[in-house]
Amino acid sequence: MMKRILNIAQIGAPVLRESTKRLKREELLSPPIQEFIDDLIHTMRSANGAGLAANQVHQSLRICAIEVKNNPRYPYRPNIPLTILVNPDLSPASELMFDNYEGCLSVPNLRGKVKRHCEIRVEAMDRFGNPIAETVRGMTAATYQHEVDHLDGKLFVDHVEDSKSSLILSTSQDRYFGKSPTPGMIR
């Protein structure tokens, strides 16, 4: 089957503000859900996203795709191999937080500074229903938190503490940061 590029919901779409539905393993393994996951990955890659949650493409399912591979939108992020999280639950592995500068395919042309946990525990299933239990750190942890926030009906703008100094148009980022912003360097 040919992979499709799905329509990405934009801020204001009700689906972005709803908690998503958990899947049973049998549902996950069904051909329509596996095909959807292929389309989700294809859409994320086509849009140069670091991740994409199912509700960002109008499907209220607790699934997200994450991958960073020399991404031009996020040149400062470390590479993350393709990861599919199904029914993810995250918990802080430490209380340490850091400022992370984020953008979103559903909030075009806007970037903002949000606080993220430095280290998180992840429990989920992969796309084949196998358990995932791992700890991720740093920018990878921030990416996971961003995507799982989507699955809980939250956007990065909900976490911005000071919208006057922490939000900029991404078209203006070069003026403030040079070619790529560095986390923790927000003025």
CA angle (28, 52, 82) in 5-degree steps: 75
Is 108:99 a contact under the CB 8 Å cutoff? Answer: no
Among 23, 31, 32, 72, smallest CA distance to 50 is for: 72
Among 81, 46, 54, 88, smallest CA distance to 66 is for: 81
Among 52, 16, 51, 166, smallest CA distance to 100 is for: 166
Helix, strand, coil shares of the chain, percent, nearest 5, are 30, 30, 35
d(CA 145, CA 107): 16
Q: Which residues pair with 110 in a beta bridge?
A: 169
Residue tagged active-site, from 26, 67, 119, 147: 147
119 is an active site residue: no
Among 161, 186, 164, smallest CA distance to 173 is for: 186
The catalytic residues are 147
